[in-house]
Amino acid sequence: MAFAGTNISLSQPDITQKLTERIDDLKQKIAAWGKRIRRFTERSRQFNHNRLFQSDQKRLYKSLERSKVCGAGQGPDQADIIVFWRGLWSEPVNHSEGPWMEVVASQGASVTPMDPITITPEDVAEAKEISKHTKYDPPNRTAVDIIDTLRQKLAVKCNRLKRYQKSRKRREDNALFTKNEKLCYRRLQQSVNDTSGLPRRREDVEKFWRSIWSEKVIHNETATWITREEQRMLEVPEMQHVEITEEDVTQAVYKSPNWKATGPDKIHNFWLKKLFYTNQ
């Protein structure tokens, strides 16, 4: 006798071990499928919440406020409801009118009476405007619903104002770039908290270049790649000696853009052109 789909036979001596391994394998597969189903359910719930948030935020908030498990029990008895409200409104309550009542009365006497309020048609129209969250929702009945509607309208106005400010800043930057590139770049640098704008000190410039050209560095001169490169460079013709004159430096400086990004010395090419003594 053998199990269908397996090589397990009751005549085998290790039947218990093989059955245990088979059961463990099935348990792991079931657990893996269960986790996969839970992940899919969670992603589906998040996707539905995102879609509902884009279409109807009020409905989403109401669904989140509801408890996950809603009981379907019967409502309270009518007699209990009558007893509850009668205990609040019908039965007289004896209060202890202590001296604090006189204090409150004396302080309330100095309060200026409130002026009468006249409700205009504009007020009614405004109230009707906030009485509904969206055209698909029922009218707001409670103060919480009205506050929620006003809060979301305020958030929409704030987002619209932020978009307008970003759009205006982009237009200003584009217009400034066409008129004065230097000032545009300076403002961009200030936006990233680079407000110094001052050139480097002479000591810093000398220290920077001295660390590159003056200080001696010990290298591994016996490396194999050096020998390989020497053999490869034997076939390369030797470059003729080029003497850089003052005129070459002057022409190179005058051909360079005026306000191109500076190097570590923080000096623009404009000043190198005007201060021609620096080319000597």
Q: What is the pLDDT of residue 196?
A: 52
Listed as ranges, residues in the chain with pLDDT below 70 are 1-14, 66-75, 95, 124-136, 140, 191-199, 276-280
Question: So what's the pLDDT on residue 276?
Answer: 67
User: 235 lies in a domain?
Assistant: yes
Q: Which pLDDT belongs to residue 265?
A: 77
Number of domains in the chain: 2
Residue range of the domain that includes 269: 198-279
Cα 204 to Cα 216: distance, rounded to the nearest angstrom:
19
Q: What is the pLDDT of residue 7?
A: 54
For 196-205, write each residue's pLDDT tens digit.
555 678 888 8
Residue 213 lies in a domain: yes
Strand partners, 9: 2
| pLDDT score recorded for residue 228 | 87
* AA letter at 61: Y
Domain presence at residue 89: no
Q: How many CB atoms sit inside 10 A of residue 268's CB?
A: 19
pLDDT per residue as tens digits for the range 84-108: 888 777 777 776 777 777 888 888 8
User: Does residue 73 lie within any of the structural domains?
Assistant: no
Res 198: pLDDT: 57
Integer Cα distance of 119 and 31 in angstroms: 66
Residue 266 in domain: yes
How is 149-205 classified by DSSP, letter by letter?
HHHHHHHHHHHHHHHHHHHHHHHHHHHHHHH-HHHHHHHHHHHTT----PPPPHHHH
pLDDT at 263: 78
Give me the helix-helix angle, 15-55 and 57-65, nearest 10°.
140
In a domain, 62, yes or no: no
- pTM greater than 0.75 (yes/no): no
Query: 83 in a domain, yes or no?
Result: no
Does residue 71 form part of some domain? no
pLDDT of residue 1: 44
